[in-house]
Amino acid sequence: MLFELNNFIYSYGRNNRFQLGPLSLTLESDSITALVGSNGSGKTTLIRILLNELLQYGGDYTIDSVPVNDMSGSVPHTYGIGYAPEEPVLDERLSGYEIAYIVKEIHNIKKQEFDIFMARFRQLLQIGSWFEKSPCREYSQGMRRKVSLLAAFLGAYNYLIIDEPTNGLDPVAVFGVKKLLLSYKEQGKGVLVSSHILDFVEKIAQNVIILKNGTVAFAGKVQELLGSHPGMQLDEIYYNIFVNIPENSGFSL
Amino acid sequence: MNLESAQNLLIKRIIGFNPSFSQSVLRGAGAGVLFFGIFEAVSMINPNAPRIPVPTLLVIAVFVLQMLLFLKISRILRFPRTEDFLFIIRISYRQRKKIAVRALLESQKAILPFIASCTLVSVILEIFIYKERELSNLAGVPAGLLLFTYFFPRLGASVLKSNLIRPVSRDSQQSGVQNSQGIRIFTVLSRFFFCVSNAAGKLAPISIRPYVTRNMLYLFRSDPFLFPFFTLVAPVLLILVLVLIGDRELLFVDFFTVLAFFVLSFYYATYFQEASVWFRECPYYDFSHKRMRNAQIFTSAILSIPYTVIFLLATNTALLSLAGMARTVTFLCALGTIILINCRISINPKRKDSDVGMDLALFIGVSIGVFVPLFGWLFPLAITGVINLLGWGSVCKNKQC
């Protein structure tokens, strides 16, 4: 699976106050790509564009060389893309298990496969009896995040897009998410993770896209970035990029 | 005023003055004599007057009374705004629940001695005056009556305690004093709801099956007590009405069946409306306008099955003719149109209160068809056309679907 954005521009707000792009990006489905950037740099906007939720843009956006504008139906369900938004949106009256079961039915996942995945997910993310018993409206922030991630994983038979996956999660669950993401990637599937936690990104991602004021400040391999700044951690490099590099410095994929 | 006396005051507002034990016993004994005189002794003097044994009479009276009392008390949980005593609006769900449980048990303290003494006196009078010797009449019915009077309020209190009465939306706010526990139901009940919803989903086409299951679950989870209760009680009441009507040729059979389903559809529509909003918002559902509408139509169609069965059983012999066939077609078209009316209500997020008038007008159009022989089905079909002309005002209007 291949997402391609060429000379892409999207703007919104009064007098087009915010502009994402122009940018050119390629996302492949065999690696974990981290999307980092300061608040308001356009991470969530980029994700919403990839999911075809925002339509009035300039330039080209294709998935597997098919222009997204020509498609009918929802992009996530047509291409098997699982999505967990920054603020989990859940069916408030249903329990977590009921949501998981319905997602399983929507994607025709076999019962055995579902049971195995659920057991692993429950173990890694420490999911308790609340999952079956209580409706989502009673869940804490962390519980909601877990259910949102679960629904995204179940729907992601090709690609996974998650926005701030560790928000509200305890350390055990963060470790569980890491393990799940890595094993998902080992199946040859791709992940786009938007996160502010650079330690998390450094440990799981092979590629990184750094957004700054709507433009790409860096896009490439994490190892390449670390290699070009010997002896520095990702957070230090990130700081340098944001403090020293001027806007539209010409970095592109 | 301390909390205890405030609660006592509220309970008094809800159930009225509660007599003491001895007062209840005395009043019960007096009522026993009076009822025996009116409903049994008169038939000894005038053989043409019907005799209704007092315990049997009390069974019906207590059943209706307890039901009404439970509904009245549970209103303070579900509809606190309708109470004329404004203080009720300001107290939390948890406090209202506590008051409701106490009110129910307090009312039992007054009703049980009353019923017991009333039954006892009437049974004694039946033995000595009416010379009644039938053991089932003397012991069976009174024992059942007393058990019901004892257990029903306790069952009602358990229903209230277990959060099965849905709180109002303000109770569910995440901040402020109104915060409630929400509806946390027992695991067994949760599994039961899940199994029933799953079984209902199996009746739908594969493409919308998960969404029909989800709609059913949503209804159960939204109102875990009243949804199953109304869904079960409405067909039973309808059967009683049809038994009273008696004549299966009469078109009122069709009308009451259609009416019962329409009334219940109105109740379901509120929850469907809420469910359709989440259907659109949740990223893991494959939302499309068509899919949402079809899922709601199928869910309503599944909920209409008992009414179709009741209609077919109530009118079976009357259907074996051309007129009978036309009557069945009219009935089925009417049910289908009501499902569309319900769907129109539930997928329109900008619905105004005044739209109820339009829905009633559409229903009247459908129900006129029920009374027209042979060509009655034209009316529901015409209303279907009107619904399409009026538009659906869907939740995804002006958005990509």
Query: Do residue B282 and residue A77 have CB atoms under 8 angstroms apart?
Result: no
Please tell me whether the overall predicted TM-score, pTM, comes out greater than 0.90 for this model: no
A95 touches chain B (CB under 8 A): yes
What is the pLDDT at residue B85? 65
Residues of B in contact with A82 (CB under 8 A): 284
Q: Categorize the per-residue pLDDT at B174 as very low, low, confident or very high, splitting at 50, 70 and 90.
A: very low
What is the pLDDT at residue B215? 95
What is the pLDDT at residue B294? 92
What is the pLDDT at residue A143? 94
Q: Which of A53-67, A202-216, B197-211 has the highest mean pLDDT?
A: B197-211
Quick one: average pLDDT of B245-262?
Answer: 84
| Residue A133 distance to chain B (closest CA, Å) | 6
Q: Which residues contact A1 (CB under 8 A, 6 or more apart)?
A: A28, A29, A63, A64, A79, A158, A159, A190
Average pLDDT, chain A: 87
Quick one: average pLDDT of A42-49?
Answer: 90
Query: Most A CBs within 10 Å: which of B284, B290, B399, as the mutation test of the A interface?
Result: B284
> How far, in Å, CA of B310 to CA of B300, rounded?
16
Report pLDDT digits (tens) over B36-70: 888 888 888 887 777 888 888 888 888 888 888 88
What is the pLDDT at residue A59? 87
Q: Which residues contact B287 (CB under 8 A, 6 or more apart)?
A: A74, B279, B280, B396, B401
Contact A155, A143 (CB under 8 A): no
Residue B235 has pLDDT above 50, yes or no: yes
Among B109, B299, B281, CA closest to B203: B299
Nearest CB to A102 within list B183, B213, B287: B213
Backbone φ, ψ for residue B332 (5° rounding): -65, -40
Residue B398 has pLDDT above 70, yes or no: no
Edge-to-edge strands of the sheet including A66-67? A18-28, A2-12, A58-63, A66-67
Q: How many angstroms separate the first and last alpha carbons of chain A? A: 18
What is the pLDDT at residue B176? 37
Q: Could you tell me the CA-to-CA distances from B11 to B69, B88, B121, B158, B374 in Å, in that order?
A: 12, 11, 30, 18, 56
Is the pLDDT higher at B145 or at B212?
B212
Report pLDDT digits (tens) over B8-19: 777 877 777 778
Nearest CA in chain A to B288: A73
Report pLDDT digits (tens) over B142-161: 888 899 889 988 888 888 88
Contact B390, B343 (CB under 8 A): no
Query: Do residue A135 and residue B284 have CB atoms under 8 angstroms apart?
Result: no
A87 touches chain B (CB under 8 A): no
Contact A172, A143 (CB under 8 A): no
Report pLDDT digits (tens) over B259-296: 999 999 988 888 898 899 899 899 999 888 889 999 99
Residue B400 has pLDDT above 50, yes or no: no
What is the pLDDT at residue B178? 37
Report pLDDT digits (tens) over A2-21: 888 888 888 887 776 788 87
B170: its two tokens:
């303000």
Residues of A in contact with B209 (CB under 8 A): 105
Among B137, B113, B109, CA closest to B123: B137
> Which DSSP letter does residue B52 get?
-
